Amino acid sequence: MEITSLTNAKVKQWSKYKEKKHRDKDHKFLIEGEHLIEEAHKANLIECILIEQGKENMFPIYETYEVTRDILKKLSDSVSGTYIMAVCHMPNISSIDFGNKVIVLDDVQDPGNVGTIIRTAFSFGYTSIVLSSHSVDVYNEKVIRSTQGALFHMPIIRGDIMELLQELKQQGITLYATSLHEATPLQQTPKKTPCALIFGNEGNGVSKDVIDYSDHKVFIEMKTFDSLNVAVAAGICMYEFR
């Protein structure tokens, strides 16, 4: 099917998915570029494909709309533009299964950091991502891009962080919070499985309540500057606990 009008009802509907509230309401989100579409295809999340008129469609098994470059520009968030996008549905999480290696993000705000952490977690075989209510939305286009598609393969559980930590503890999962105070150096920390590694907000770190509730406090020893990006700190901890 071909769509050329920017005011077409479908285009209007899709463009709503640039906002979190509409994504949440319909459980749908947009992605762009071949690589992400390939990963979403593997995870069975694609609903339909939007492709620029005249371009070859590598995913003909899905319902496809041929659209103008202007329509893609309206729907896309990237500066450089794209010739292919997809509308996806969010994966169903019927029951909470954390698995035995959990990453917990306590109000991490930067989309690039959250996406990079999800990508690292999937690469090292972590089993789920838990997000506090005030963390950035993972279906934000920049988060998706930074995950390189890892997002589609990882269970994401979002909610009240204290309730979720309680649930983790009840399931016998040891909680490790990163903290700069009264903490054990990462290398000397005994690494148990199942475990949950907790990382905090870019400015404030892990919140006090969460640190107090955790079983262990961990820090990464530094020399001169004592300042690591949260995605780098998370990468180092995930590597050590892998």
* Site of interaction with a copy of itself (CB under 8 A): 112, 116, 119-120, 122-125, 146, 148, 150, 153, 220-229, 231-233, 235-236, 239, 242
At CA 242, angle to CA 141 and CA 230, rounded to 5?
Answer: 45
The nearest distance, CB 175 to a copy of itself, in angstroms, is 22
How is residue 97 written in tokens?
């299964």
* End-to-end C-alpha distance for the chain, whole angstroms: 47
The nearest distance, CB 123 to a copy of itself, in angstroms, is 4
Question: 89: which strand partners?
Answer: 28
In the bound state with a copy of itself, the residue whose beta carbon lies nearer, of 150 and 210, is: 150
The nearest distance, CB 87 to a copy of itself, in angstroms, is 24
Cβ–Cβ < 8 Å for 130, 194: no
Pairing type for strands 195-200 and 101-106 reads parallel
In the bound state with a copy of itself, the residue whose beta carbon lies nearer, of 123 and 171, is: 123
How is residue 71 written in tokens?
């329509």
In the bound state with a copy of itself, the residue whose beta carbon lies nearer, of 48 and 228, is: 228
In the bound state with a copy of itself, the residue whose beta carbon lies nearer, of 14 and 241, is: 241
The nearest distance, CB 132 to a copy of itself, in angstroms, is 22
- For residue 73, the SS3 value is helix
The nearest distance, CB 54 to a copy of itself, in angstroms, is 26
Distance between CA atoms of residues 107 and 222, nearest Å = 24
In the bound state with a copy of itself, the residue whose beta carbon lies nearer, of 28 and 145, is: 145
